[in-house]
Structure 1
Amino acid sequence: MEVYDFAIIGAGVVGCATARRLALAGAKVIVLEKGRDILSGASKANSAILHTGFDAPPGSLELACVQEGHAEYLALRESMHLPVLKTGAMVVAWTDDEAKRLPALESQAHENDVMDAVLIEAKEVRKREPHLSNDVRGALWVPREYVIDPWSPFLAYALQVQAMGGRFLFETEARDGVFDGQTWAIETNAGTFFAKGIVNCAGLYGDLVEERFLGSVSFRIQPRKGQFVVFDKAASALLSAIILPVPNDRTKGIVLCRTIFGNVLVGPTAEEQPDRAIATVDEGEMVKLISRAEAMLPALRGMPVTAIYAGLRPATEQKYYRIRHDKQRSWLTVGGIRSTGLTASLGLANHAAALLLGEHDNPTPREPVPKMANLAEHVARDWQTPGYGEIVCHCELVTRREIDNALSGALPPRDLSGLKRRTRCTMGRCQGFNCLGRLAELTKERLPYPPGTPL
């Protein structure tokens, strides 16, 4: 009977980061994911912004984890070849009422130790971002908010876990468990697995997993849908900084920013829905998003839209992170992680390790550290190095070599969505219309779920 030190349920951003942190401490970990791949749930539709925590609740766990995660990401990203687009962010006031709220937001930022956040007048905003609407009334400038790759960091963490002896199982749903005082017997559709402790990082299903295993639940997930619009790459010349709204108690609001892939993104919406699995795109909301983006950045009018998509966030009845540590049963729930989860993931992983292993656990760096292939538009791409074979996806300039490397990697994709997140294929203007045939040839018998397989 193989017994793991920890079973992590869920391979989203928090699950991958937590698995890495525990493995770095010497723990033997197994990650159980009900989807086909890492980041196959809520995490796949993250907005890829590295936050400073300037607007997080002062003194909160969220603030601590965001700031620790921000610092750790910047410290490790060069060793893993992870790109950062140093944009900075402006919290823009579009009305006089919003402008009156900016000084309080600056005070909150300073209270949160983001001392480089400063108010700038409308004239300065327009000087820095000349294409923004003349409706600008002023802004809070936050220079250390950046755009990053939304997927590659977590693939890097997962690869590092595997290199240290950890294991990832996909299409493996944790259905029930029994704790005998020392070990959990975890029942799944793929058999029974044993672990001394469990970390529940199940995202949209975190409350259900907790209820199945512990017989009670400390929170309830209330899925919140966010829809996005991606504009053509030509739009990236119109914008430098991340444009943030003045936030409210319910949501951070609509963001307008460049992406690491060279496009411009607007979103997300914030729509409550009961369905935890399917996030549909609504034409009416798309029209509103485009209209809002054009109102903020008038030069977007007439700019082609490359893609539209929707994702779900694991919101709960409370705004703060939902942590439940049952030491007697060697259980930890890390739930209710919403829009700051990408940045906070490394901080949350450290918090989890402190609870499970002790405050004084300080792991030393362990090799090998994976070196990721670059997907960012502002850094040299694979097609610029001879010997790439052929351009498979012409919209995104994805090479045959990139496709082959992804398919033969230590944690290969299992469907087209996973290949897309590893290479950018089908992300461009034609959305796969011109390259799907060639991709089908190249991936034949190499993807468990060939292109065209329903999700």
Structure 2
Amino acid sequence: MSKAPGQIEHYDVAVIGGGVVGCATARRFALEGARVLLLEKGADILSGASKANSAILHTGFDAPSGSQELACMQRGYAEYREIAQRLNLPLLETGAMVVAWNDADEAKLDAILAQAHANGVEDVVRISRDAVRQREPALSSQARGAVWVPGEHVIDPWSAPLAYLQQAMANGAHVWRGATVEGGAFDGKTWTLLTTLGEVRSTEVINCAGLFGDHLERALLGEASFTIHPRKGQFVVFDKAAAAMLSSIILPVPNERTKGVVLTRTIYGNLLVGPTAEEQEDRDHASLDEAILDSLVADAITKVPALEGMPITATYAGLRPATEQKAYRLKDRPEANWITLGGVRSTGLTAALGLAEHAFACYRQRRATTPIGSPVWPAVPNLAEHLPRDWQQPGYEEIVCHCELVTRREIEAALESPLPPGNIGGLKRRTRACMGRCQGFYCGARVAELTGNCLTPPISTGIWHE
């Protein structure tokens, strides 16, 4: 299914951007019978905004009522719950509390409750100070009360988009990595896209380019319908012992600009605090600031005093594609065979499947497709700490990463998969190798030995290997 020399392949849909939204969109269109190509400029998927988030499956309880964001989040939430078992995607059922820490916070709880009910999330309730302490005895006594949201849960932020794209590939989609779109032209019927891997033609283009979505519109359409204002979020990951201190996601009372700093368990068995919300111009680099990281740790200790002295496993930062408006920037340009899914911020992990459905609803208004009758449902390996791991099964041969208990079998399976990692970051996201306390100090050499020179494949075909 690779290109013959000099041949230019023609696709129904070219999805530009291999973040969670692009992966979900490629999946939806492939399942609907379209011939799909996903173009990602990085060496691996999730190279941009999608690689760093708080990994919460949101109910939409606090989204703007009547918004496209709310609709996409709730469709995405429902579809994730429907397909998770078939794709082997984990769900850590935690629930969440929006905790009031002062008088001003407490005064906003009734409005948060009312908005949740207006958004159709009817199981949300307000709970007292005593009820907060009963649910979370490790929380500081400063907690005044909370809004309890039982449907908010923790998921794997990296296995989900990988599963979406692998299912797209298993059902015929193609993926080009290292394929920067450098230009293109539309002749009224077909797009010709110029990429670093060659020329490609597509009837429709779907812009899922995240932090560069406005640049892509300007380059190919001549103007942009929005402007990205990168927003950096820094995170601190506490050692695994810290995860036992909380059972729920602890959310702050949000403000107009940000949802605020969250305390949550991770699917990998740690405790996470973050993100911050810092505006910057740079779209490529998210640097760490020691003073801000210290403030995150201090905030976490204020809320959970037992975290005092708890070791830090990792710190990291990511960028969110915020725009001049809080809303998602969704644009259908039927005269240009173009759909933009832009301005998708922290809720994108949940909303991705809903955004994909939105894009397909626009597409089918002008083009007919025939859905695949019996689609293939490939399962991704489990990385969740609360479910059985590979090291617990016989025949794994070797524990390569002792901090995260990653086996040689897992690493080899990732390298031999239909979408092998394109760089060391991709390998970490597929296996958890080098993600633990030592951050690769002890296992890095062995990981390098096992991977050799296999971490830069530019193109993966749509063939599923059993």
TM-score normalized by the length of structure 2: 0.95
Residue number among 105, 108, 117 corresponding to 1:110 in the alignment: 117
Counterpart of 1:431 (choices 424, 435, 439) is: 439
**Gaps (5+ residues) in structure 1?**
450-455
Task: Judge which range, 386-395 or 367-376, deviates more.
Answer: 367-376
Q: What amino acid does structure 2 have at the position aligned with 1:211?
A: R
Q: Which residue of 2 aligns with 1:240?
A: 247
Q: Which residue does 2:357 correspond to in 1?
A: 350
Q: What residue in structure 1 maps to residue 463 of structure 2?
A: none
User: How far is 1:406 from its partner?
Assistant: 0.3
Q: Shift in Å at residue 120 of structure 1?
A: 0.1
Please state if 1:196 is matched with 2:203: yes
Question: Partner residue of 1:95?
Answer: 102
Deviations 1:125-182 (A, max 9, x none): 0011000001000000000000000101111111111112111111111121111111
**Residue among 290, 293, 297 paired with 1:286:** 293
Matches within 5 A, 1:260-299: 260-299=267-306
Map 1:11-50; keep pairs closer than 5 Å: 11-50=18-57
Partner residue, 1:452: none
Aligned residues of 1:9 and 1:31 also touching (Cα < 8 A): yes
- Matched letter for residue 447 of structure 1: L
Match of 2:5 in 1: none
Q: What is aligned with 2:4?
A: none
**Residue of structure 2 in register with 1:82 after alignment:** 89
Distance across 2 between alignment mates of 1:162 and 1:114:
35
The alpha carbon displacement at 1:94 in A equals 0.2
Match of 2:217 among 205, 210, 214: 210
Calculate the aligned-residue CA RMSD, in Å: 1.2
Contact 1:354 1:361 in 2 (8 A): no
1:376 aligned partner:
384
**1:162 aligned counterpart, secondary structure:** helix
- Determine helix, strand or coil for the equivalent of 1:78: helix
Instruction: Supply the distance in 1 between the matched residues of 2:311 and 2:369 (Cα, whole angstroms).
Output: 51
| Residue 38 (structure 1) shift | 0.9
Instruction: Give structure 2 stretches of 5+ with no counterpart.
Output: 1-7, 458-466
SS of aligned partner of 2:418: coil
User: How many Å apart are 1:7 and its aligned residue?
Assistant: 0.4
Aligned residue pairs: how many?
Answer: 449
Q: In the TM superposition, what is the alpha-carbon distance from 1:14 to its structure 2 partner? A: 0.4
SS at match of 1:79: helix
Range moving further from structure 2, 335-344 or 169-178: 169-178
CA offset at residue 47 of structure 1? 1.2
Q: Distance in 2 between matches of 1:362 and 1:257?
A: 42
> Of 68, 73, 77, which aligns to 1:70?
77
Offset at 1:361? 7.4
Deviation at 1:366, TM superposition (A): 3.7
Q: Letter of the 1:306 partner, please give it.
A: T
Cα deviation digits, residues 102-142 of structure 1 (max 9, x gap): 00100000000000000000100001100000100000000
Counterpart for residue 259 of structure 1: 266
Q: Any idea what the Cα deviations from partners look like across 1:427-447, whole Å, max 9, x if unmatched?
A: 100000000111111111322
Q: Which amino acid aligns with 1:264?
A: L
Aligned runs of 1:83-232 on 2, under 5 Å? Answer: 83-232=90-239
CA distance in 2, matches of 1:244, 1:365: 42
* Contact 1:88/1:241 (8 A) holds in 2: yes
Letter in 1 for 2:417: G
Percent identity between the two aligned chains: 60
Q: Distance in 2 between matches of 1:363 and 1:259?
A: 36
Q: Deviations over 1:201-250 (max 9, x none)?
A: 00000000000000011100000000000000000110000000001110
In the aligned structure 1, how far is the partner of 2:207 from the partner of 2:386? 36
Residue matched to 2:462:
none
Partner of 2:461: none
Q: Which has the higher contact order (CA 8 A, sep 6+)?
A: 2
Tell me the CA shift for residue 73 of structure 1.
0.1
**Distance in 1 of aligned mates of 2:373 and 2:137:** 45
Deviation at 1:364, TM superposition (A): 5.8
Provide the residue aligned with 1:440 in structure 2: 448
Match of 1:412 in 2: 420
Which residue is equivalent to 1:453? none
> Per the alignment, in what secondary structure is the counterpart of residue 87 of structure 2?
coil
